[in-house]
Structures are given as C-alpha cells and as structure tokens.
Amino acid sequence: MLSAQPKSTDVLSDRYQSVRGLTLSLIADLQPEDTVVQTMPDVSPTKWHLAHVTWFFERFVLEPNLANYARFDDRYHYIFNSYYYTAGKMHARANRGLLSRPTLKQVLEYRSYVDTAMHQLLQTRGTDDEIAQLTTLGLNHEQQHQELLLTDIKHVFSCNPLKPAVRPSLPTSADVAVSNYSFRTGRSGVHRIGATGATGDSFFFDNETPRHDALLHEHRIGNRLVTNAEYREFIEDDGYSTSDLWLSDGWAAVNENKWRRPMYWDQSLESEFTLGGMQQIVENSPVCHVSYYEADAFARWAGARLPTEFEWELAAGEQPVAGNLMDAGNWHPVANDTSQFFGDVWEWTSSSYAPYPGFKPLAGSLGEYNGKFMCNQMTVRGGSCVTAADHIRASYRSFFYPDARWQFLGIRLAKDGTGS
C-alpha cells in the first residue's frame, strides 16, 4: 500500500480530523439506545464501529510508535478487535449486540483519548513514511466503517416496527427518464489491471496489487445500472419461482429465506425502507439490496450475464470518479441517465474474490486485512451512495458472500461478443 507523503505535519493531521469528525457527524441523529442493537451477525452495533476504528489506531499506530503511550483500557483490546487473530483474542462477532457496556459516552471518551494521542504523534512524526502510511491505512479503514455503520444501522431501523428514519432530513429521490438499456463494446485483448501508484502519492489496498496482465475476450457492457422498474418486471414474470434461472446455491437460498423481492421492499412492490424512512420506490432509480444470486438470476432472465471485474475496471477507468456517493447527501440510489460506474450501488461482478498473480499480504497483523478473505466471496466494484468520494477508484475491490443483501448492492449487465 502507498500513501501520500504530506507536505507538512498539518496536512495529515487535518485529514485525520476530517475523517474522524465525519464519522461522528453520521450518528448525529441517533440516540444512545440506537447504537447498541445488533440485528444479525453481519451487522455490528454503531457503538462497536466507533470503538473498533479507534482500537485500530491505538493498536497499530500508537502502541508501536508513540513513546510511553498507555492504553485507554486493556479490556477494549478484547472487545473491539475484529478478526486480527495475531493481535489477540476477540469477543464473538455475533455477540457484539450484548455489550451494553462500555456505554456510548465511554466509547466517545475513548475516541477523544486516542485522537489526542494521534495528534501528538502526527505533530512530531507525521512526515515519517511509516507513520504516514499506517495513519492513511487507518483513515481508509475508518471510511470503510463509515459505510458499514450506515448500512448496519439501516438494517437495525428496518427491524423496528416504527420504521424510523436514520436521518429524517434526507431528500426524497426524484424520478427522471433513463435511456433504454443498451450495451457498448468493451476493450478486449491483454490489458494491465490493478492499482498503478504511478504518481507515487496515491493510496490503494494490497488486494488491488500487483498490477498484472489480464486477457479479456470480446464483450459488451451495459450503459447503466438496472432500475427498480426493470427488476419489478423480473419479479412479475415469476423470476423468483423459475428454478432454471438460478444457481443451485441461489435456488436453495431463495427457498430457505423465502426471498421474493429485494431486501427492504414491501410486499406491494411500491415502497421501500431507506435511511430516510419508508419511501415510494422510484421507478428509474438503480435497484439495490439484491444478492449475487439475485443479480445472476436477473441477468440470465434478461439474456445477459454479469461483467467480470476486469471488464468493469477497464470500462470504469475511462470515467471520472464522480457520482451519487456519500458526499452528495442522498444516502440512497437516485435515478440518473448516466453510466453510473461510481456511487449509487456496489456492482456485483461474476468474478470470485481471489488474489492477483503474485499477491503478497502485508507483513504482520495487517496482513490479515484482506488476504485471508480470498475464498468463497464475490467481487463488487464501484462504491455506493454511502461511500466517501475520496475513498473510491476504478481499481478498488470489495467483496461479499453471494447471499449478502444488506449492503447497497446492485446490477450492471454484460454480454459476450460484439453484436447488438
């Protein structure tokens, strides 16, 4: 991983304060009771997210590098470790919702304590390569948890019969006309894939490396994301009841979980739960909260397939990193007649999440960040409506299990060949 080398200690310190401050702004409308609830194992309580990202700075940046640093509370290193087995034991993920203590107030005190120590470290050693890289990794890690915090609290609030809004002031999406779904020819042949680091000052995760050659066959890629209206046609055409559209594991998941529509849609197929509460479904907004299995079945129904992650990266690399991201303030996909490669929804690809040729994880505990998850998951690309705009890029790879639905996950289609 590479990180920008700050021109002064103030640059990285300001960046630190900005990211950490944004995290707190995301919970401005929550009450302490909201921050404790865990509604399924994949969901972590808001309070846990706030503390875990703080633990990351304490464990991996402060302890090795700030002389005489004293932990805020030794017990937090058990409670707020996530999956870093080389860093110590941890509280079971599925039981995070049982932690009524420490309180939200104590967690915020923990954040303040670590922020003070980080400020001291950055003012004295912020231009050191190792400190700059570790801090930048920590900030990108926090940005990932900003997104998780919002998707997790959305699930928590959706389980409440009152259907409260996480942020009541969010705008209501307007519908706009979109062009007919079409396909444009993608680039075929051998192309370089992965993070470039060409400028020497850009950040990327280790799973975006090493840059390597990939062979792409002739293909076409969709001009935009699949909309709610288009997905409703799949539902009304008995897509969820037609077994030959589904992968075997997908068909099992459909029947076991009784899926009949995207997560958060009501039975009428007319309204859905959003971070702003219940809202009418906007016909031409990108469909979201569908699993890989559902995306794959829809693609088969539409006479198409999902793009590979390499096809997606080459197409997205031709576009500016712009779109309906967290900074736009919508926190929900919006209707837009553009290519929409960035923002709105993470786009399922047909590619398994696997290491690139020659991949080597980072040394030490940080080597557990990405590499050990490269099995049984599918790659998604492009970021979502709750991804920070300065956190996403064409080479960025995220990953989820194929039955995941609680994230903002959507669909772009592709086809083989160069025909119409």
pLDDT at 364 over 90: no
Contact of 336 with 176, CB cutoff 8 Å: yes
Mean pLDDT calculated for residue range 249-276: 98
127: how many CB neighbours lie within 10 A of its CB? 15
Helices (H), 280-414: 292-301, 309-316
Q: Are the beta carbons of 43 and 152 closer than 8 angstroms?
A: yes
Find the mean pLDDT for residues 190-204. 80
Instruction: Judge if the upstream peptide bond of residue 102 is cis by omega within 30 degrees of 0.
Output: yes
Give pLDDT tens digits for 71-82.
999 999 999 999
Q: Is the pLDDT of residue 420 over 70?
A: no
The answer to whether the Cα torsion of 322, 326, 331, 332 is positive or negative is: positive
Say yes or no to pLDDT of 144 above 60. Answer: yes
**Across 114-140, average pLDDT:** 94
CATH of domain 183-416: 3.90.1580.10
CA dihedral of residues 418, 291, 155, 175 (deg, nearest 10): 30
Give the pLDDT of residue 361: 87
Tokens 């609290």 belong to residue: 153
- Confidence category of residue 284, pLDDT binned at 50, 70, 90: very high
Name residue, tokens 């995207």: 262
What's the rounded Cα separation, in Å, for the pair 414 and 400?
A: 20
Rounded CA-CA distance 17/139 in Å is 10
- Domain segments of the chain: what residues? 9-158, 183-416
pTM value is: 0.95
Q: Where does 62-159 have alpha helices with state H?
A: 63-65, 76-79, 104-125, 129-158
Q: How many CB atoms lie within 10 A of CB 135?
A: 26
Average pLDDT over all residues of the chain: 94
pLDDT tens digits, residue range 37-82? 999 999 999 999 999 999 999 999 999 999 999 999 999 999 999 9
Mean pLDDT of 26-34: 98
What is the percent of the chain with per-residue pLDDT over 90, rounded to a whole number?
Answer: 89
**Rounded Cα–Cα distance for residues 397 and 72 (Å):** 34
The number of residues in the chain equals: 420
